[in-house]
Structure formats: structure tokens, C-alpha cells
Amino acid sequence: MKRIISLTINSVLYELAVEPRRTLLELIRQDIGLTGTKKGCGIGDCGGCTVLVDGIPTFSCLMLAIQAEGCEVETVEGLATDGQLNRLQEAFVEHGAIQCGFCTPGMLMTSTELLRHNPNPTEQNIREAISGNLCRCTGYQKIVEAIQHASEADNE
Amino acid sequence: MSDYKILNTRAPRVDARDKAIGKAVYTDDMTRPNMLYAAILHSPLAHANIVNVDTSKAKRIPGVHAVVTSKDAGIEPYGVSPARYDETIFCHDKVRYIGDEIAAVAADDPDIALDAVRSIKVDFEPLPLVLDGERAMDEGQPLLHKQYKNNVCAQVHWNFGDIEQGRRESSIIRTDSMSSKMQDGAFMEPQAIIAEVDTSGNLTMWSSTQAPHYVQRTLAMALKLPINKVRVIKPAVGGGFGPKASCSTAELAVCLLAMKTGRPVKMTFDREQVFLHSRARHQFFHTMTSGLRDDGTIAFLEHNCLLDGGAYASFGIATIYYAGSLLGGPYRLKNMKYDGYRVVTNKPVCGAQRGHGAVIARALFEVQLDRMAEELGMDPIELRLKNVMDTGETTCNELFVSSFGMREALEAVRDSAAWKKKRASAGKTRAAGKGIGAACGFFVSGAGYSIYRSKTYHCTVVTKVDEVGGGVLVSSGAADIGQGSDTMLAMITAEELGLPLDDVRVQSGDTNLSMDLGAYSSRTTLMTGSACRDAARDVKRKILNAIAGRMSVPPETLDIKDGHIISLGDPIDFSDLRDEYLKEHFGFSDLPDSPLLTFREASRIAFLELGTVIGTGSYRPPKLGGSFKGAAVGTSPAFGCSAQVAEVTVDLETGEITVDKITGAHDCGFAINTTQVEGQMQGSMMMGMGEALMEQICYDDKGRILNANLAEYKIPTSLDMPHLDAIIVESHEPNGPYGAKEVGEGAIMPVIPSILNAVYDATGVRISELPVTPERIAEALRKKRESCG
């Protein structure tokens, strides 16, 4: 039996009826239509579906939609302002952190949260923060460098 | 420094912005109106006769629109290599691995489709299993396929030069073995497919594939459709690395369901299905005997290889050839004998994966060279430098290296990693458990021949100038699967036409657009890049001819630079052309104000003169290779080569290995995009490191995968990976566009052996079974301690 929930996604308030077993990932991708968030495994192994729920990086494939009742959810689509990429996104683009791009939304959300609570991360801080986000293309080198550059840009 | 404006720079990828804001569309992001969802029934048994398939209950479930089996699909065989068509869309007489496809369903939603699949009743008659590749050829083993005697699906026997002479010349001869486990591609995007048929019978399939052209051919053949009625489109793809390079049963099944129902049908693999479908790295068993002369030159190599390829041939026939042929370089080796067997077993099917066929062979040979260097008392890098080929040489198996920066690459990693100093510190100032190792690699830059026998062009590119003026649209069938080929095409076009990158749009990965064999064998930059360059030059010539005609000057006195037409001779007054353009664009706000004629004006004028301006380019390699059987595999218009130094720390109690640093150098001929070349190298380092240290598919005694997920099938995380230092060597390949050749696969070649050699340097133990897990190291260290008393 569906239940009515309300939540905000990227500052937009949504009210919708969802099956209790529907995941937050399914709600975001299929009900709302924000397909930037990716499903790489569906069981919390790859980090591709990472979104921020009340500011905390969360595997949206492991969270039920009804658990997000009243929460503020941020997805990759919420990072740019009026189509202008933010500094972290620009750094990913400029520094070659994006190849196939499938891990990119999750990587961006995890590192967004990192830079919010730690504006001056060390390389080790960055590697620890993104260690739950798998990438098969880059060897992580340019992702780490992009996050470092974004943090330096933030501090200028 | 080059004179190029766009090439050889770090231009951001043309698709990066869309990927950074979540706008890039992958197949699973798409829906079509009135779409159904498919599910596939996979075999729960690894080897069994099918007695009966009862779909009656599934067909009665509300919301189910079609249930298809071999009765609907037919049993015409298909596969990758025409010489080994051994798959049917659905199993009809027997199943050969856990995951083999028996039936498929289309339903209103994915849950109903799954329920329907579960309600299909299959009666099996279990058969004895063949799970051990090393025993598959033994007398009395059950046969998987009638046509594969002793379960051997392909074999190769080569004898180049005279290995007996090589033996006589050798002062050191060693025999070593190495084996690996089956691996998974572990690309982040699971395969997804949407198919639909229009009212005229045109089938369109969107799929996360590496090779739209081959998939189009297979769909047409297996579904018995006119090939011109089949269109394959590759949306954004989240990595492939080889396993997405051939047509899958899922693609065929979804198309069949779309044909049956007349509605769009979608299916997305879950991660377990990615593992079951596999088509990834084979399991390799290599034994090599080689010899060194007194001076450290390599006298011969005798190489035996067994590949366990799982239940069907897939790419395996090419794999077993590559496993032998690519040891022909990068060293001077006149005497080489190779015997390779590729067997079938009741396990998921192996195919191509980055460094196709050659990775474990390379690992063993490079380890063996280190062991012989040690026996000879020679530095391993010095030994390699003594043996490396130079530009213009030909291998014993008739592979011609038209550019070869092997020596430069090896010297670059030696110097950058402070090799001599670190080696010298062993046993002195160096901490216990630290080690450093080196290795080289060699790889094709595009397969010399297509998979099917044909003199087909390997690719074509169509570049059209916007009729409205201003930009160009590059159309290509090439498959950007994340490696960045769209950016390569845009950069080449912008360079040739003297345009900013922003004025070039690329559409690709669609069989409607042009012919392209796809993303495999590291072929796209050299081949599609060449065709793209020629298409752009064709366009430029046409535009300049049109302008020259209007101005009554010879076309060779005109050129395009920085988006403007320039005169190489006397200054030209273009004001008549400008007036003509301005009259057309009354009311526009972005009119040209430069004193020079802009490309926008020139391209519009050219259209007014000529109609639509289109340039085309095509590429196919010249005839390559020798005349011996199988000589085609391993041929290429060019060869990449690479060297690497790995530094490790091994915990001598637990056997845990930490890779501290990897320094790699790769000869890509010429870096079209510096950032992307580094990215391919770094990605290769990561994949190779995973294969060396952690990646293995584990099976139980029923043939079931025990770790079909990304938690228990371990690939390196950001914490496992060290700093990756990528050094680019540019040898200027005469057969590549602007001197460019491959980087995507060759860069993985030295990764595994450099790590293995470093682990030996750190511990004094050699592990001959990959992956080198802490358990294996700890056990070897324990044995070494015991044997030392």
C-alpha cells in the first residue's frame, strides 16, 4: 500500500505516494526523473548512487524512500547554479577526473560533503572520503587532484 | 613544442560538463513511450540437458506480454568469430553454465517480468561438470560442445626461427609457470538495452555497447532481419574495457521481445548478471622456457599456454592467438615457439578485456627476465635495454614496428623513479619489506583485420558544415565508452579547420552515422582519427575552393586560422562576401565585426555556392602480417610500448602488500590530448594492480560464482591506489594521425609484472598464482623461513 511522503530534493518540495519498499534511488531516478544519480550495483557496494540526505553522503539504493520523509536531499543536479558549474564540478572537468562519468555524480556528492566539513583536506583525507565510491577508469589519481584543486580554489 | 593550437593540449573533454551536472544520458536513464520491461531466465545449473521448458504459467500472469524461448528465437548459431559460431539466442538442447539463457519475458514492469521468469518451469537432466580448465582436455571428460573435441575450442602452434639453435646459444635457461583466475571487467555501468520496432519494421536498439557495428551485424544475422533495417545506438557508456565488445544474448532477447510485442522493451542488468554474462578476462595457465646468451640477449622463448574460456568461444579464438603473438615484441627475439589451447568449461564465458590475451603472458615473461637477470648478475632494466627493439625493426612473427619509444620509456621510468639508487639501497639503508620492480609491455594500435573476413573500411567519418554557417558536425560510428574518442574527433577537426573546439559538435556511436568497427584493440585514435582528419581536410578544401572561386584567387593562397579566412598572398578585400552575408542576417545581433572574413561567413558563402558542404574520410589498414596460419592476429598499423616501475611495501608477517608508487611511461606516438593519455595510463595501472593483487572470480564445486558483487570481487579503491606517475613518450608514428597511436590497453602490460618483481625484491619469494594475496605471500614467506632453518 502506497504512502504519501514529502521531501525536498535540490530545494524543491515534493509530495508523492510511494510503495514502502521503493528505494530512495528509485524515487529519485524514476518518480522524480533526476537520472544523474546512478545505479551501479543496487546493494551499496559501488557508491554510484550517493546523494546527500540532510547533508550526509548516503547510498540511495540502500535507503527506503519513506525513510526520507521530511529530509532534504541533494543530488548532482543540485550542484550547478543556473547551469553554471560550481568549483568542484569545474575542477572535475578541467583536471580530467571524468572519463566514463558513471561514478562522477556519486564522487561529486561525496566530495561536496568532504569540502563542506573539511575545506583543507589532505590527500589522505580525500582518499578516505571517496573510498566508498568505486571508479574503474581513472585510478583515482585525477579525481583526487581535482578535489585538491577545488579545495584550493575555495580557499583563494 | 608543437605548432598545434588544439592538439597536444589538455583541452577538457567535450562530454565532461554534461557528465558533471548529471545530464549525460546513459541507456538506463532513457524511457520510451509505452515501454515494457524484460527479464531473462538464467540456468541454475552449470551443465544439464533441457528436457522441457514450460512457459504456460508465465504467459498467464497479468501484465505479461510475451514469453520467448528457443522455439521463438530459432537455433541458428551465432557468436563473435565466424569460425566459431557456437551460441544460440536461447539454450535449446542443453545449458552450459550457471547463467546460460533459457527464456525471456516482457511485462508491464520489472517485478512482473521477474515473477514471470520465476514461474517458467524447466526440467533438467543434470550432466557431469567440467570446471577445471587444466583437466578439460583429459581423456573421459564430458564434452560441452560436440564440435569441440576434447573441449578444445581453438589451438595455435607457431614456430618462428629455430628454438633449438637458441637453446644451444643460451648460457642460462629457465622454465617458469604462472596462472591467473578469471576476472571481471567491473565497469561501473551495468549493461542496459532498449529496443523498439517502428511500423515499417525498422529495429532500433540503444545499448551500452563498445561495438555498434558488430552488434548490428549479429542482430541482423541472428534475428534474420535485413541489416539495413537494424540500427544500433550507443548512448553514453559507463566503461567497457572489452566485455561490452560483442553482441549479447540480452541484446538479442530484448530485440526479439520488441519485435514480438510491437512495443519498446527495456532491460538493465543487475550486478550479478554482469558477472554471469562476463565475457571478461580468461583464466590463463602459462609455462615458458627461455634462454639468455652470455651477454644478456634473449636467445629463445618456448611458450605453452592453456586458456580456460568458460562455456562458449566468444572472443577466445583471438585471445589464444594474442597470448602468443604479442610476446614477439618489444624485445629482439628471433626464435619463438608457441603452443596454445583454449578450452571450454562449464563456467561463464570469457572474452576480451583490456590488453586482450596478452596480460598474463607478459607478466610471466617479464618475471622470467628478472629471474634470469638475477642469475646473470645483471640489473633487470639494463638487461631489458640490451634487448629492446628500435623503430623500423620487425618481430619474428612479422610485426613491423614503425615507431618505437621503448628505450626512451624504459630510461624515463628508470630515471624518474630513481631506480639505481633505490636498488642499490637494498640490504643497506632500505627498510625491510620495501621493494622495487620494473617491466615492459607491447600492444597493438588497432587490429589489422576486422573480425569477419572482409576488405571493409574499418571506419568512415562524415563532417558536415552547418548550412547556416558557423560550425561543423562530425558524424562517426565510433564508440566513446568513456575513453574520450569524441573529444579526440572534435580536437582533430578543430585543429584542421582552424576553429575553436566549441564550434565542433560530435555525434557518434550510431550505425546510422557512419561505419566504424568500434572501441576495441585500441584502434580508435589511429583509425577513426585518421578518417576524421581526412574528412576535415576535405571540408576545408571545399570551403576554400568556394571562397577562392568567388574572389578569383588560387585556393592554395587561402587558409583558415583561428576561425578566420586568411590570405597567404596579397591581402584580399572580402567586403563583397561580407555584404552578402550581412544582407542575409538583417536583425541578427552577432554579426561579424572582424576585419577578416570569419569562418561563419565563409561556411555560409560556401553553402550558397555549393549546397551542403560535406567532407568524408575513410580508413582501412594496408595488408599486414605474414602468411602463416593465424598471422592476422596481432598485426596492427602501429604498436604501442610501455615501461613501468612499481614500488611496494610488504608486511613480512601478514603478507599484506602496499603499492607505494607506480611510475609508468608509455609511447603513444603523439598525445592528441595529454590529460586523456595520462588518464588511460592511470586507469590501466589501477586495473593491472587489481589483477595482480586482488581480483579473482571464485567458484564453488557446482560452477556457481561465489562473489558476483563489487564487495567480494575486490577492485582497488582510492585507499588501495598509490600516487600514479604517468610519463608520456612521443615517438611520432608515421601511420597514425599527427603521429598518434594507442594508449588504452598497452599501458596495462607492464603493471602486473612490475608489481610482482617489486614484491620479489621486497620479500625474496615468487608467487606463480595470481592474484598475489596476503595469504599466498605469508605462506611463501613461512615456507622460505622453514627451508632456511
- Per-residue pLDDT at B280 exceeds 60: yes
Nearest by CB to B13, which of A83, A98, A102? Answer: A98
Is B163 domain-assigned? no
> Are A100 and B719 inside 8 Å of each other by CB?
no
DSSP track, B402-456: SS--HHHHHHHHHHHTTHHHHHHTTTTTSPTTEEEEEEEEEEESS-SS-SSS---
CA dist., res. B682 & res. B659, Å (int): 14
Using one digit for the tens of pLDDT, what is the confidence trace for B523-568?
A: 999 999 999 999 999 999 999 999 999 999 999 999 999 999 999 9
Residue in B with minimal Cα distance to A37:
B22
Contacts of A89 in chain B (CB under 8 A): 20-21
- DSSP 8-state assignment for residue B176: E
Nearest by CB to A98, which of B20, B270, B682? Answer: B20
- Per-residue pLDDT at B352 exceeds 80: yes
Average pLDDT value for chain B: 97
* Residue that finishes a domain, picked among B563, B587, B619: B619
Task: Extract the C-alpha cell encoding B336.
Answer: 619463438
CA B119 to chain centre: 38
Is B505 domain-assigned? yes
Interior/surface letters B527-562, b for 16+ CB within 10 angstroms, e for the rest = bbbbbbbbbbbbbbebbbbbbbebbebebeebebee
Nearest by CB to B22, which of A76, A92, A134? Answer: A76
Q: What is the mean pLDDT of residues B169-192?
A: 98
* Residue that finishes a domain, picked among B576, B600, B619: B619
Residue among B307, B305, B304 nearest B347 (CA): B307
Contacts of B24 in chain A (CB under 8 A): 101
- Chain position carrying cell 522455439: B71
Clarify whether residues B314 and B414 are in a common domain.
Answer: yes
Clarify whether residues B295 and B214 are in a common domain.
Answer: no
Is B678 domain-assigned? yes
Using one digit for the tens of pLDDT, what is the confidence trace for B255-269?
A: 999 999 999 999 999
Clarify whether residues B295 and B407 are in a common domain.
Answer: yes
Q: Are residues B239 and B481 in contact, defined by beta-carbon separation less than 8 angstroms?
A: yes
Clarify whether residues B305 and B206 are in a common domain.
Answer: no
Clarify whether residues B73 and B221 are in a common domain.
Answer: yes
- Per-residue pLDDT at A156 exceeds 60: no
Clarify whether residues B420 and B469 are in a common domain.
Answer: no
Residue among B32, B18, B90 nearest B267 (CA): B32
Nearest by CB to B22, which of A36, A46, A139? Answer: A36
Which range (A5-14, A145-154, B94-103, B190-199) has the least confidence? A145-154
| Structure-model confidence comparison of residues B401 and B82, the more confident one | B401
Say what percent of chain B tops pLDDT 70.
100
Cite the beta strand spans of B554-656 per DSSP E: 558-561, 564-567, 597-598, 614-619, 639-650
Number of domains observed in the structure of chain B:
3
At residue B788 the predicted structure's pLDDT band, cuts being 50, 70 and 90, is confident
CATH code of residue B634: 3.30.365.10
Clarify whether residues B461 and B606 are in a common domain.
Answer: yes
SS (H, E, C) chain A: CCEEEEEEECCEEEEEEECCCCEHHHHHHHHHCCCCCCCCCCCCCCCCCEEEECCEEEECCCCEHHHHCCCEEECHHHCCECCECCHHHHHHHHCCCCCCCCCHHHHHHHHHHHHHHCCCCCHHHHHHHHHHCCCCCCCCHHHHHHHHHHHHHHCC
- DSSP 8-state assignment for residue B519: S
Query: Does residue B484 belong to the interface with chain A, where contact is any CB pair within 8 Å?
Result: yes
Domains in chain A, CATH or no CATH each: 3-78 (3.10.20.30), 87-154 (1.10.150.120)
pLDDT at residue B3, rounded to an integer = 87
pLDDT at residue B450, rounded to an integer = 94
Helix A104-117 to helix A87-94 angle (10° resolution) is 130
At residue A152 the predicted structure's pLDDT band, cuts being 50, 70 and 90, is confident
Q: What are the percentages of helix, strand and coil residues in chain B, rounded to 5?
A: 30, 25, 45
Question: What's the farthest any 2 CA atoms get from each other in chain A?
Answer: 52
CA dist., res. B271 & res. B548, Å (int): 59
Task: Extract the C-alpha cell encoding B431.
Answer: 627498510
Query: Does residue B678 belong to the interface with chain A, where contact is any CB pair within 8 Å?
Result: yes
Contacts of B700 (CB under 8 A, 6+ apart): B706
CA dist., res. A103 & res. B24, Å (int): 12
At residue B604 the predicted structure's pLDDT band, cuts being 50, 70 and 90, is very high
Is B50 domain-assigned? yes
Clarify whether residues B473 and B517 are in a common domain.
Answer: yes
- DSSP 8-state assignment for residue B22: T
Average pLDDT value for chain A: 96
- Interface size A-B, in CB pairs within 8 Å, comes to 174
pLDDT at residue B2, rounded to an integer = 67
> Are B678 and A96 inside 8 Å of each other by CB?
yes
CA dist., res. A30 & res. A35, Å (int): 8
Task: Extract the C-alpha cell encoding A22.
Answer: 521503493
Query: Does residue B676 belong to the interface with chain A, where contact is any CB pair within 8 Å?
Result: yes
- Chain position carrying cell 585507499: B719
Query: Does residue B20 belong to the interface with chain A, where contact is any CB pair within 8 Å?
Result: yes
Task: Extract the C-alpha cell encoding B86.
Answer: 557456437
CA dist., res. B105 & res. A110, Å (int): 38
Q: What is the mean pLDDT of residues B190-215?
A: 98
Using one digit for the tens of pLDDT, what is the confidence trace for A70-97?
A: 999 999 999 999 989 999 999 999 999 9
- Per-residue pLDDT at A4 exceeds 90: yes
How far apart are the two ends of chain B, measured CA to CA in Å? Answer: 60
pLDDT at residue A83, rounded to an integer = 87
CA B185 to chain centre: 10
* Residue that finishes a domain, picked among B587, B619, B651: B619
CA dist., res. B399 & res. B326, Å (int): 9
CA-atom Rg of chain A in angstroms: 15
Is B778 domain-assigned? yes
CA dist., res. B285 & res. B296, Å (int): 27
Using one digit for the tens of pLDDT, what is the confidence trace for B445-485?
A: 999 999 999 999 999 999 999 999 999 999 999 999 999 99
Residue among B656, B661, B784, B763 nearest B434 (CA): B763
Residue among B67, B89, B63 nearest B78 (CA): B89
Which range (A9-13, B103-107, B586-590) has the least confidence? B586-590
Task: Extract the C-alpha cell encoding B405.
Answer: 619509444
Residue B233 domain boundaries: 31-127+188-239+244-277
Chain A nearest-CA distance from B344, in A, is 28
Strand pairing class (A72-74; A50-53): antiparallel
> Are B20 and A127 inside 8 Å of each other by CB?
no
CA dist., res. B637 & res. B623, Å (int): 9
> Are A135 and B675 inside 8 Å of each other by CB?
no
Using one digit for the tens of pLDDT, what is the confidence trace for B614-666?
A: 999 999 999 999 889 989 999 999 999 999 999 999 999 999 999 999 999 99
Strands of the sheet containing B121-126, edge to edge, are: B94-95, B48-54, B121-126
pLDDT at residue B593, rounded to an integer = 84
Is B2 domain-assigned? no
Clarify whether residues B94 and B111 are in a common domain.
Answer: yes
Residue among B715, B712, B699 nearest B276 (CA): B699
Query: Does residue B431 belong to the interface with chain A, where contact is any CB pair within 8 Å?
Result: no
Going from the C-alpha of B426 to that of each of B278, B376, B412, the distances in angstroms are 42, 18, 21
> Are B20 and A99 inside 8 Å of each other by CB?
no
Give the angle B166-B172-B174 at the CA atoms, nearest 5°. Answer: 90
Clarify whether residues B403 and B551 are in a common domain.
Answer: no
- Per-residue pLDDT at A3 exceeds 80: yes
- Per-residue pLDDT at A155 exceeds 90: no
Q: What is the mean pLDDT of residues B227-251?
A: 98
CA dist., res. B591 & res. B474, Å (int): 25
Clarify whether residues B611 and B646 are in a common domain.
Answer: no
- Per-residue pLDDT at B377 exceeds 60: yes
pLDDT at residue B789, rounded to an integer = 64
> Are A96 and B676 inside 8 Å of each other by CB?
yes
Query: Does residue B29 belong to the interface with chain A, where contact is any CB pair within 8 Å?
Result: yes
Which helix (H) or strand (E) segment is B730 a member of?
A: none
Clarify whether residues B253 and B107 are in a common domain.
Answer: yes
At residue A154 the predicted structure's pLDDT band, cuts being 50, 70 and 90, is low
- Per-residue pLDDT at B1 exceeds 60: no
Say what percent of chain A tops pLDDT 70.
97
- DSSP 8-state assignment for residue B5: S
Which range (A79-83, B1-5, B302-306, B468-472) has the least confidence? B1-5
- Per-residue pLDDT at A153 exceeds 80: no
CATH code of residue B55: 3.90.1170.50
Give the angle B764-B767-B770 at the CA atoms, nearest 5°. Answer: 145
> Are A108 and B28 inside 8 Å of each other by CB?
no
Is B175 domain-assigned? no
Is B61 domain-assigned? yes
> Are A43 and B711 inside 8 Å of each other by CB?
yes
Q: Are residues B355 and B680 in contact, defined by beta-carbon separation less than 8 angstroms?
A: no
Query: Does residue B623 belong to the interface with chain A, where contact is any CB pair within 8 Å?
Result: no
